[in-house]
Amino acid sequence: MEMLMLTLTIFVLAIFVGVEVINKVPPTLHTPLMSGTNAISGIVVVGAIISSGGGEQTDGLSTFLGVLAIILACINIFGGFTVTDRMLHMFKKK
């Protein structure tokens, strides 16, 4: 139960941090913001890596699901960061 309270606290505080930081992003950059957050939501890849790593707890099906998750998360990571970079460079040049 204590563990749950701790993780819940982290979750709630992180939402507040998110709101504070994101409220300062100007409307001009809202599209790159969305693709950028797409990229960082690929962090779920860390869970996928553990499932695909052939540990004692995995079996054929869970490894398969894990690899599929790695593929999807990496599409997000590589696609998200690359397309965000492409857009932001358009804003940078005068």
Partner 1 sequence: MHSFINFAYLVAAVLFIYGIKGMTTPKTAVRGNQLSAVGMLIAVIAALLEQNVVSYLYIIMGILIGAAIGTFLAKKVQMTSMPEMVAALNGFGGGASLLVASANYLEMQKAAALPMGAIMGMPEANMQWAIALIFSILIGAITLTGSFVAVGKLMGKLGDPSSIGMFKAIVKVCFVLLLAGSAYFVYDGPLENTDLLIVMVVICLLLGVALVIPIGGADMPVVIALLNSYSGLAGSATGFVLGNNGLIITGSLVGASGLILTTIMCKAMNRSLTNVLFGGSMAAQAGVSKDENDAFYEGKVKVTSADEVAMLLDSAKKVVFVPGYGLAVAQAQHATRELASMLQKHDIDVKYAIHPVAGRMPGHMNVLLAEAEVPYEQLVEMDVINPEFAQTDVAIVLGANDVTNPAASKDPNSPIFGMPILEVANAKTVIVVKRGLSPGFAGIPNELFINDNSLMVHGDAKLVLQEIIGAMKDL
Token output for 2: 């204590």
Q: Does 11 bind partner 1 (CB under 8 A)?
A: yes
Q: Cβ of residue 60: shortest distance to partner 1, in angstroms?
A: 10
- Region 60-79 residues binding partner 1, contact defined as CB under 8 A: 61-63, 65-79
Beta carbon of residue 2, minimum distance to partner 1 (angstroms, whole number): 11
**Per CB under 8 A, does 24 bind partner 1?**
yes
HSE at residue 74, side-chain half, CA atoms within 13 A, is: 8
Which pair of structure tokens corresponds to residue 12? 């709630």
**Does residue 94 touch partner 1 according to CB under 8 A?**
yes
- What's the first-to-final CA gap in the chain, in angstroms? 55
